[in-house]
Amino acid sequence: MSRSIIEDLETIPHYELGISLPLFDIDYDSEFVRTWDQKWGSMSSTGRLRKVLVHLPGKEAAHPILAKDPSFFNLPEGLTDLAKMQRQHDEFVQVMKGEGVDVIYLNPTSELIGTYGVPLRSACYTHEALVIKGGAIIERPACAYKKGYEVYLAKRLVELGCPTLGTIRGKGVFEASNLIWLDRERAVLATSLRTNVEGIDQLVPYLKEAGVRNVHVAHLPGYLRSRKWQVGGASGYFHLDMTFGIAADALGVVYPGGVDYETIEYLKENEVNLIEVSEQELRNDATNVLPLAPGKAVIPAGSPETTRALRKEGVDILEVDLSEFVKGGGGPTCMTLPLIRD
């Protein structure tokens, strides 16, 4: 952050010679960009994506300890191939850059080791914080294999100059993939195996302060102990963006069996046109669509029915091979932390 010295002190609000006055009547938003240099925040699913944080998977994603208990590390479909993940990640980043997105890397300065001493193998899924109007909300992950990642994200956001509004604490648990924006004033949150009511209760005041007027809480069905797949059937749904996503203004993709009936009704009442995703394409993370700009979005390659339906609605769909990331538990939305979006 660099600033130039002003020549005329009278450009400062309420300046008076010989006295330093408190600026109590100047609100936070009006001096935000002056203070923090950029208009940080993403409170839309469909506005043009300007700046995003990613992490190229490293040795934490291929550590030998993962093979000792793949299910503990949320790898029910087997270990991922690091070299393949890195190739796919590079291709995904190039697609975003080609659309004018400023891609920032996590660039950790130390090995990605979590709270309980295990490698943070899912660090490539950077959608683990919220950057809303006014700054960042640092989440508190639910599972031991992810805990501690929030520290690396918080440090990087500080380095970038993004202010922190707060952190989920106490026994509250919230993971950012359990929030979907309908627009700047409406958001859908979800309770699940990864987000509890206390976490949502701590989050909502930040959202309301930022201008959100309507919050709907969905309830996701989860698994008990047995999991065959990342998503679907008895394997459940621990993130909202596994079963519902916004592809364009008032256009969503949804697997109805993954959300409660009241949520479907809420979306209909709010005039969200819904494209139903098949179970087969659900497992390819077809709902984890990432809008890059109004009417343009990225989807994991291999979901022809959903892709065809979205194109029929006028959405320019960019298909990217992310099969190894899907196997590991996420798609393009999970792989990105939006920092600035129109």
Segment 131-150, tens digit of pLDDT? 999 999 999 999 999 999 99
Note the pLDDT of residue 57.
98
Classified as helix, coil or strand, 279 is helix
What CATH number has the domain bearing residue 294?
A: 3.75.10.10
Is 1's pLDDT higher than 70? Answer: no
Q: Is 30 within a domain? A: no
pTM equals 0.95
pLDDT tier at 3, thresholds 50, 70, 90: confident
| pLDDT tens digits along 155-182 | 999 999 999 999 999 999 999 999 999 9
Q: Is 188 within a domain? A: yes
- The size of the chain, in residues, is 342
Note the pLDDT of residue 224.
85
Q: Is 7 within a domain? A: no
296 or 7, higher pLDDT: 296
Note the pLDDT of residue 225.
84
For the residues 295-299, what does the mean pLDDT come to?
98
Distances (CA, A) of 164 to 68, 130, 154, 156, 219: 37, 10, 8, 11, 28
Note the pLDDT of residue 199.
98
> Would you tell me how many other CB atoms lie within 10 Å of the CB of residue 221?
16
Least confident of 27-41, 93-107, 192-206: 27-41
Please count the structural domains in the chain.
Answer: 1
| pLDDT tens digits along 315-325 | 999 999 999 99
Q: Is 1 within a domain? A: no
CA angle at 197 for the pair 193 and 199, rounded to the nearest 5°: 85
Q: Is 54 within a domain? A: yes
| pLDDT tens digits along 47-89 | 999 999 999 999 999 999 999 999 999 999 999 999 999 999 9
Q: Is 10 within a domain? A: no
The order of strands in the sheet holding 179-183 is 179-183, 186-191, 214-219
| pLDDT tens digits along 98-134 | 999 999 999 999 999 999 999 999 999 999 999 999 9
Tell me what the pLDDT averaged over the chain comes to.
Answer: 96
φ, ψ (nearest 5 deg) of residue 274: -110, 130
Contact 155, 129 (CB under 8 A): no
Q: Is 27 within a domain? A: no
Q: Is 166 within a domain? A: yes
pLDDT tier at 334, thresholds 50, 70, 90: very high
Is 2's pLDDT higher than 80? Answer: no
Domain hosting residue 86, numbered range: 36-341
